[in-house]
Amino acid sequence: MKAARDGSPTAQPLLGVANVSKTFGGGRWLLGARRAAVRAVDDVSFELWPGETLGLVGETGSGKSTLGRLVLRLVEPTSGHITFSGEEITGLSAAEVRRRRGAFQMVFQDPFGSLDPRMSVGALIAEPMVVHGVSRAQIPGRTEAIMRLVGLDPRSANSYPHEFSGGQRQRIGIARAMVLTPKLLVLDEPVSALDVSIQAQILNLLMEIQQRTGVAYLFIAHDLAVVRHVSHRVAVMYLGRIVELADRDLLYGSPRHPYTVSLLSAVPVANPATERERRRIPLHGEISSGTAIPSGCRFHPRCARARLIASRGAIPTGDYGAEKLPLACLQQEPPLAPIEPGHRAACHFDSGSQADMVPGPLT
């Protein structure tokens, strides 16, 4: 039994993702040439509880957006299981998913591209209610109420998307997603296209909506400062897998995976004295392609910790080009294992004993 974020007891997570994978491509082209298979998501598991925000971070190409679409059944998983409110949804037909679509919705990155420019704002917000059979007598009142909830003037219902600013268009997208009172919103980079000042307004709006409605968020972003502001827990994704999952304060105060350490070491902080004391931990090269995932730990080609440990000469090493890296990193995929309560990481070498690999907490 776990408490939801509103304090009420709940016996099961709202969303359960178990060993989910997605591979694109593979097989052969028409003339017989073999197509490369892209492992976009690889054996991912996590839970999301009612009223909770789980931040999902990582570089472009890490599989974050694909995972968000898998959760909503916009993309079909290659393997694994997804449950929503205790119900297995991976085996449902497209028609059965549509009937449940009101309970889980998505807010997209581009607020203008996700809105039909030929429809008025009122019609855009009302459309989900029409599709899901809400009584026509209820639609005007619910449209007005949701516009007020997201900070839009109901008198602008007859205006069109191009007449609004970027921040206002994102409020329209949020209103459209929330009008059916979903239990879950997947937010895919919802503020990355907005100015910094507008970002803060939208983030505060999302937090206010969550407090008032109890909706859960899967918040996908690459900006770690944004994720820290809105999330209760954070999952760090690299090349299709979650490599660290922790309560927000644990992850930002004591990161344990070298990828997380490197990402956090590059985040600027407000205190100049702290910024001078923090050590940058660089990432070597670029993220690998999903068509050629490295053997062993998929992060080892870029890992500063692996190089540091190999240089000490206390453990077996192997050749990686002209370098020496720990043999375990080259040969074995580390599991996402518990380190402490509320904290899991997938690394052969616990950073708790590698103080010089940790940049220090963000302040």
Q: How far apart are CA 262 and CA 357, in angstroms?
A: 9
Q: What is the pLDDT along the chain (363 residues), one digit of tens a residue?
A: 465 665 555 678 999 999 999 999 866 655 666 677 889 999 999 999 999 999 999 998 899 999 999 999 999 999 999 999 999 999 899 999 999 999 999 998 887 788 899 999 999 999 999 999 999 999 999 999 999 999 999 999 999 999 999 899 999 999 999 999 999 999 999 998 888 889 999 999 999 999 999 999 999 998 888 999 999 999 999 999 999 999 999 999 999 999 999 999 877 766 655 555 567 777 888 888 878 889 999 999 999 899 989 988 888 989 988 888 999 999 999 999 999 999 999 999 875 544 445 444 433
Q: How far apart are CA 91 and CA 104, in angstroms?
A: 17
pLDDT given for residue 359 in this prediction: 42
pLDDT given for residue 223 in this prediction: 87
pLDDT given for residue 289 in this prediction: 80
CB atoms within 10 A of CB 346: 22
Query: Is residue 13 within 8 Å of residue 84, measured between CB atoms?
Result: no
Tell if the pTM clears 0.85, that is, is over it: yes
Quote the radius of gyration of the chain (alpha carbons, Å): 22
Q: How far apart are CA 240 and CA 23, in angstroms?
A: 10
pLDDT given for residue 354 in this prediction: 42
Q: How far apart are CA 277 and CA 272, in angstroms?
A: 9
Q: Provide the β-strand partners of residue 244.
A: 236, 345
Per residue in 123-134, pLDDT (tens digit) is: 999 999 999 999
47, containing H or E segment: strand 37-48
Query: Is residue 335 within 8 Å of residue 245, measured between CB atoms?
Result: no
Q: Provide the β-strand partners of residue 337.
A: 345
pLDDT given for residue 286 in this prediction: 83
Per residue in 144-159, pLDDT (tens digit) is: 999 999 999 999 999 9
CB atoms within 10 A of CB 116: 11
Hey, what domains does the chain have and what are their CATH numbers?
2-231 (3.40.50.300), 247-357 (no CATH)
CB atoms within 10 A of CB 222: 16
Q: How far is CA 60 from CA 103, 221, 239, in A?
A: 28, 10, 9
> Who contacts 22 (Cβ-Cβ below 8 Å, separation ≥6)?
39, 40, 41, 63, 66, 70, 75, 76, 77, 78
